[in-house]
Amino acid sequence: MVASPPSLPRAADLDVAGKRVLVRCDLNVPLAQDPDGPSGMRTIADDGRIRASVPLLRDLFDRGAIVTVMAHLGRPKGTPDPQLSLAPVGERLEELLEVPVRLAQDVVGESAQESVRASESDRVVLLENVRFDPRETSKDDAERGAFADELASFADLYIDDAFGAVHRRHASVYDVAQRLPHAAGPLVAAEVEVLQRLTVDPARPYVVVLGGSKVSDKLAVIEALLPHVDRLLVGGGMCFTFLAAQGHEVGQSLLEADQLEACRRLLDSGKIVLPVDVVAAKRFAADAPHDVVAVDEIPADRMGLDIGPASVRLFDEQLQGARTVFWNGPMGVFELAPYAAGTRGVAGAIAGLDDALTVVGGGDSAAAVRALGLDVDAFSHISTGGGASLEFLEGRELPGLTVLAG
């Protein structure tokens, strides 16, 4: 199924001294309202992605490159939106990089051209949110191409270090790379290396743990992974459609009736392990009455919001001895304290494995690792690009990687 992914040219191998380098970074950080600032003022809630981008920019700067950074923030509707300006990101980047960062007031307009022209190797230029220009995400090749021509005119070389965007056929990811000599930055290279180890001859036993809310979101990845794994442990909201497919009553739990047939077919593989007990609650709320019940005793008026303690023990046993583990999707509604134990227990079991490659993928799963106070360093790798990682594992072509390999 999965063709061996192409090998990528690396940023470290480019001769960048005195060259103008255009870098696509993933600076799409979560924002929060600033309680002390003027209304509408935003602050950065988690600067992880900015921090992660620093090593490449620092290295390019140290090697004498003239660096222009482009990135997106949120989903502006193809027009400038002050709420989604990269200004606060630029300030944070400057602090972390310890190099002056000049924010252009636009993407390819006058201010951008002026900033890039004025820039010598003594500062970094950050273009405004690339999605302020509707051509960035246009489906029309010619429109994207025209935008990419303008972006490419700023540079001699292009480096992509935004793994979270490689599955997008966007101008700053795909079309610009076609127009300039290019390479993968260290974040993209590291991510591809790990995902390759999951798809090309993984060390066995290979155990995948899946959760999250819906089967339909993850069906493609389950189908792609199932032939290659030894066991697939299923928790989270999606386990109820599997349990129902086995004939259990699931009460008010999440159930996707149109996926029952698909679940039956997947269960025929004999590799899927389901929970044996769940935390069943009266309502979707932290203060709702809730109890642990066996999966064949879920009351009709209750909904399963977490896997139970016997399931955590079962999943832990199933994980013992694994040499490769991929985990995507929380085991329960971990955001509410009474339903976090399943996710904490299973994540802890994965983190405790010795001698295994353990990879966490998915935005909410990575957030769960941090929110539940687990040791981030206990995992081999926490993937930054949720959607891009899943598409990679599905064996789909990722335009941003294909173009770098070309």
Stretch that binds ligand ADP, among 15-23, 131-139, 330-338, 345-353 (CB under 6 A): 330-338
Instruction: Check residue 213 for interaction with ligand ADP (CB under 6 A).
Output: yes
Residue 387 within binding range of Mg ion, rule CB under 5 A: no
Nearer to ligand ADP, 5 or 329 (CB): 329
Binding at 237: pick from ligand ADP, Mg ion, none (beta carbon under 5-8 Å per type) = ligand ADP
- Nearer to Mg ion by Cβ, of 217 and 297: the residue is 217
SS3 letters across 276-327: CEEEEECCCCCCCCEEEEEHHHCCCCCEEEEECHHHHHHHHHHHCCCCEEEE
CA-wise closest residue to 11 among 32, 25, 1: 25
Supply the minimum distance, in Å, between the C-beta of residue 339 and ligand ADP.
Answer: 7
The residues near 303 (Cβ < 8 Å, ≥ 6 apart) are 251, 252, 253, 254, 280, 281, 283, 284
Which tokens belong to 312?
């955590």
What's the DSSP call for residue 13? G
Contact 386, 363 (CB under 8 A): yes
Considering only 184, 224, 254, 262, the residue that binds ligand ADP (CB under 6 A) is 254
Site string for Mg ion, 313-352 (x = CB under 5 A): ----------------------------------------
Q: From the candidates 363, 386, 395, 396, which is the catalytic residue?
A: 363
Q: Does 78 bind Mg ion (CB under 5 A)?
A: no
Q: Is 74 a catalytic residue?
A: no
Distance CA 263, CA 14 (A): 48
Q: Around Cβ 179, how many Cβ atoms within 10 Å?
A: 17
- Which option in Mg ion, ligand ADP, none does residue 385 bind, with CB closer than 5 to 8 A by kind? none
Nearer CB in complex with ligand ADP: 311/324: 311
- For ligand ADP (CB under 6 A), the number of binding residues is 20
Looking at the Cβ atoms of 177 and 221, the one nearer to ligand ADP is: 221
Tell me whether residue 90 or residue 211 sits nearer to ligand ADP (CB atom).
211
Give the Å distances, CA to CA, from 184 to 48, 187, 189, 190: 20, 8, 6, 10
Token pair, residue 144, equals: 């994207």
- List the catalytic residue out of 313, 387, 395, 396: 387
SS3 337: helix
Smallest gap from residue 302 Cβ to ligand ADP (A): 12
Alpha-carbon distance values, 191 to 256, 280, 381 (Å): 32, 37, 8
- Of 5, 90, 185, 304, the one binding ligand ADP by CB under 6 A: 304
How many Cα neighbours within 13 Å face the side chain of 347? 32
Residues in 362-381 at the binding interface with Mg ion, rule: CB under 5 A: 363-364
Confirm whether 332 is a catalytic residue: no
Tell me which of 42, 49, 135, 302 is the catalytic residue. Answer: 49
Give least dist CB 304 to ligand ADP, A: 5
Reduced to 3 states (helix: H, G, I; strand: E, B; else coil), residue 209 is: strand
Residue 363 annotated in active site? yes
Q: Which residues are catalytic?
A: 49, 214, 363, 387
